[in-house]
């Protein structure tokens, strides 16, 4: 997938991809539980894009993660890509486990804090504490690159997303029944993966 540098392996990379896509499928099919106070499930996604892994994004993310500073860097330092961060005080945590746990925790914000049915990103929605979840399932963020870094005081996980999510006033994703054929995806040369309820961009 990418060169095995900085302790990253294709197993770790594939874990990030599989976790993101499994959750995007769950949302697209209308099977992702919303917070109790809102009730029900997050709305179905009409044209959720399938995530693929990008080695250039990983390189940028790794350079950031090596600094071992648990805080977002500036958009200019990451080509205006989106960014999710996770840390655990478990030192030298297995990197595949860290990859899985980070995405689980990010997605869990949906069930913990909830997203309103209109599914539009507003400051009120962001302030509910769902920004990691919304970046994981942001429809147009279909390229990711991640890093797991063993720091002196933590295991640090970062993922960056192209294109970035969480734009105010934008839908988190287009609501509707998921694709059943390629035309439903409404993007050039996209392929509908019916089983996954995802659109695969070329």
- Give the Cα separation of 4 and 10 in Å (integer): 7
CATH class of 10-200: alpha beta
> Which value, in Å, is the radius of gyration of the alpha carbons in the chain?
16
Q: Which pLDDT tens digit goes with each residue over 139-169? A: 999 999 999 999 999 999 999 999 999 999 9
**Pure H helices in 117-172:** 123-126, 131-136
Question: What integer pLDDT is reported at residue 5 of this predicted model?
Answer: 79
Question: What integer pLDDT is reported at residue 7 of this predicted model?
Answer: 83
Q: Which pLDDT tens digit goes with each residue over 167-200? A: 999 999 999 999 999 999 999 999 999 999 999 9
CB distance 167 to 161 below 8 Å: no
The torsion of the CA quartet 25, 189, 187, 185, rounded to 10 degrees, works out to -40
Question: What integer pLDDT is reported at residue 170 of this predicted model?
Answer: 98
Q: Which pLDDT tens digit goes with each residue over 38-59? A: 989 999 999 999 999 999 999 9
The torsion of the CA quartet 19, 23, 25, 26, rounded to 10 degrees, works out to 140
The torsion of the CA quartet 106, 190, 164, 107, rounded to 10 degrees, works out to -10
Q: Is 0.85 surpassed by the pTM of this model?
A: yes
């Amino acid at each position: 997938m990418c060169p095995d540098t900085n302790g990253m392996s294709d197993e770790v990379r594939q874990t990030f991809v599989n976790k993101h896509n499994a959750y995007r499928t769950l949302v697209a099919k209308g099977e992702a539980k919303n917070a109790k106070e809102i009730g029900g499930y997050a709305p179905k996604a009409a044209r959720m894009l399938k995530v693929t892994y990008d080695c250039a994004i990983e390189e940028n993310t790794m350079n950031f993660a090596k600094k071992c500073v648990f805080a977002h860097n500036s958009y200019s330092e990451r080509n205006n890509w989106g960014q999710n961060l996770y840390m655990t005080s478990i030192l030298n945590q297995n990197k595949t486990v860290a990859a899985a746990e980070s995405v689980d925790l990010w997605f869990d914000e949906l069930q913990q804090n909830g997203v309103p049915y209109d599914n539009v990103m507003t400051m009120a929605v962001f302030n509910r504490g769902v920004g990691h979840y919304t970046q994981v399932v942001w429809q147009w963020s279909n390229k990711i690159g991640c890093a797991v870094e063993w720091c002196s005081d933590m295991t640090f996980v970062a993922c960056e997303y192209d294109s970035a999510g969480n734009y105010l006033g934008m839908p988190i994703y287009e609501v509707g029944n998921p694709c059943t054929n390629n035309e439903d995806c409404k993007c050039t040369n996209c392929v509908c993966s019916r089983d996954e309820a995802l659109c695969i961009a070329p």
